[in-house]
A and B are shown apart, each in its own frame.
Chain A
């Protein structure tokens, strides 16, 4: 655990519940207009427009590209090393570095590494597995996987105020607005 310089705020953040994706999107826009930036939405399905408003740059494609390149190099170097250096064997007069016959394994290793980079990279960037998270405290949060939409404004946001932030959110939704303990 890192030592914190400032005392920890009382709340993790403030969470508002919405009926529909449109209401959520309107709230996200309103919160952004009020200069909040450290926000997170919780939705039953991916919503591109909310993602455009909230999400940071996604580095996953680069990770996958690197994974694929590492896989290709690993695959080819492995075969070159075994066939030409460690155990040179004359097969039907072919050159030791008979690269056309190494293409298949190189290809498979490229796919394997790229796919694993995609999956492990996605989970790592998402900081999963994470069995505990403050939002699980919220009432009705189990509906985030059914038909409710949630918007969280984190207390780390420089504009966060324990009184004003919930007030703003209450103007945006008719459903619950709660402060989340850590």
Chain B
């Protein structure tokens, strides 16, 4: 059942799957990336660099356990440094993965099919990196289990009126649910890999991981229900998680943090950074693994449009922050904005505005949206911009608040940077392993797409004629 160009009604006409593909070619192409291609020299090089950074992370964490959080640039004034910045940054990156996968599924956006697996992987790996930071920031990370409610000999419980405890529940739930969502999505594809594998070990490992999936109709029926329900559950979850992270800030009385716009502003920022990260990964993988037929220019352009759209909403958030500070006539709020724009961290603030507000405006041009190199550069700029945004939010509000006698500067140390670089290494290493050992595109959903398109073709033979 060979497909024609897959164009849903009302679309601009760009295919979401190049023509000439059928179930066989899709299945064989994607599974051969894992089973037949093997690891190239480039793969070893990339994974090796990433692994070196993971070692750096381990060294940094060991030194931290030995010495304490004093090895970072923290001081009495700025007690939330890189750890919180990086935590929020990573969680935000993870969110778009889930949003792309779940919301687009609920909205029946078929173009999501070839990028959702990536996006979910990005989510899971980003949450792993994010989860490290609040724990190592505790001061005594070996007592992290005190965050959990369990009957203990001290007779104590977590304080459930604190957003910091909400955060524990929100992030733990998010990590668990996005992991199972990813795994459930993988099960039929792991079965496909088991069936395609010719050697004993891959057959056994994929056979083990797919739990004996055999594509029975009763199974598919419950599977689809479960997947749809998960998508429905995970969508409000994503929104809630970043809102809760915003509450960590907004519930305090620090100038610049104590605002009602924060939850929305954080959720949109998360989506913005996540779309950027998905583009950052999709563009090179698509080129290196020759997946242009499956991740077409239409996907790339749609992501670019989403990036522009969320970027505009975020710009509105920045504008509102400034407007409310002025309109609210609170001297401390006004000072905070002035300090951001002209104070010692002004270069970071203006870089953030360039990265997140000005440069993404280039995406209005279709030529730029379709130029993958240019788009990759913009996506990287946005990733940096979103990191700077969290830096500005955390540091400029804390370093100069109500009492000038308390003012101080936050200067990151080597260990701040090494821990951050280490988590980037961990993220990249996990991605390399994922690309090497798991199907990067959902094979069974692509098969469904082809089959449905085939049915439509056979129903309306007149329209299928050129």
Query: Which chain B residues border A144 with CB–CB below 8 Å?
Result: 195, 214-215
- A121 to B247: give the CA distance in the assembly, Å: 33
Question: CA A138 – CA B204 in complex, angstroms?
Answer: 18
Per a CB cutoff under 8 Å, which of B160, B181, B444 touches A44? B444
Per the bound structure, the CA–CA distance linking A87 and B158 in Å amounts to 10
Q: Is B289 an interface position by the 8 A CB rule?
A: no
In the A-B complex, the 8 residue pairs with the smallest Cβ-Cβ separation, listed nearest first, are: A129-B211, A122-B226, A142-B195, A82-B157, A46-B220, A145-B192, A45-B448, A130-B212
Interfacial chain B residues near A35, Cβ < 8 Å: none
Asked if B161 is at the interface (CB within 8 A of a chain A CB), the reply is yes
Q: How far is the CA of A45 from the CA of B445 in the complex (A)?
A: 7
A82 touches B225 (CB 8 A): no
Residues A70-122 near B (CB distance < 8 A): 75, 78-79, 82-83, 86-87, 89, 91, 94, 98, 101-102, 104-105, 107-109, 111-112, 114-116, 118-119, 121-122
Tell me whether A8 is interfacial, beta carbon within 8 Å: no
In the assembled complex, the Cα of A79 lies from the Cα of B233 at a distance in Å of 22
Binds A, one of B234-242, B308-316, B409-417: B234-242
* Cβ–Cβ < 8 Å partners of B448 in chain A: 45-46
Chain A nearest CB: distance from B146 CB in Å?
13
Chain B residues 126 to 168 lying within 8 A of chain A, measured CB to CB, are 149, 155-161, 163, 165-166
Mark contacts of B160-188 with chain A using CB atoms, 8 A cut-off: 1 yes-contact digit, 0 otherwise.
11010110011011001100110110001
Is the contact region of chain A dominated by helix, strand, or loop, or is it mixed? helix
Q: Once the chains bind, are A42 and B217 in contact (CB under 8 Å)?
A: yes
Interface residues on B, range: 35 or more
Contact A105 B166 (CB under 8 A): yes
State whether A126 and B223 are in contact (beta carbons under 8 Å apart), knowing that A104-B244, A108-B169, A115-B180 are contacts in the complex. Answer: yes
With both chains docked as a complex, state the minimum distance between the C-beta of A113 and any C-beta of chain B, in angstroms.
9
Find chain B residues with CB under 8 A from A118 CB.
226, 229-230, 233
Verify B173–A41 contact, CB threshold 8 A. no
| CB neighbors of A among B408-466 (8 A) | 444-445, 447-448, 451
- A64 interface contact, C-beta 8 A: yes
Task: Say how far A96's CB is from chain B's closest CB, in angstroms.
Answer: 10
Interface 9-mer from A53-61, A162-170, A173-181: A53-61
Residues in A with CB closer than 8 Å to B166 are: 104-105, 108
Q: Which residues of B does A touch, CB under 8 Å?
A: 1, 22-24, 27-28, 149, 155-161, 163, 165-166, 169-170, 172-173, 176-177, 180-181, 183-184, 188, 191-192, 194-196, 207-208, 211-226, 229-230, 233-234, 236-237, 240, 244, 247, 444-445, 447-448, 451
Give 8 new A-B contacts, CB below 8 A, not counting A61-B229, A147-B24.
A43-B217, A45-B445, A45-B447, A51-B221, A114-B229, A115-B176, A116-B176, A116-B180
7 sample A-B contacts, Cβ–Cβ < 8 Å, listed by A number: A42-B216, A45-B445, A82-B158, A104-B244, A126-B219, A126-B223, A135-B214
On whether the beta carbons of A115 and B233 are closer than 8 Å, the reply is yes
Residues of B within 8 A of A54 (CB): 217-218
Mark A113-154 against chain B: 1 for CB-CB distance below 8 A, else 0.
Answer: 011101101110110111111011000011111110000000
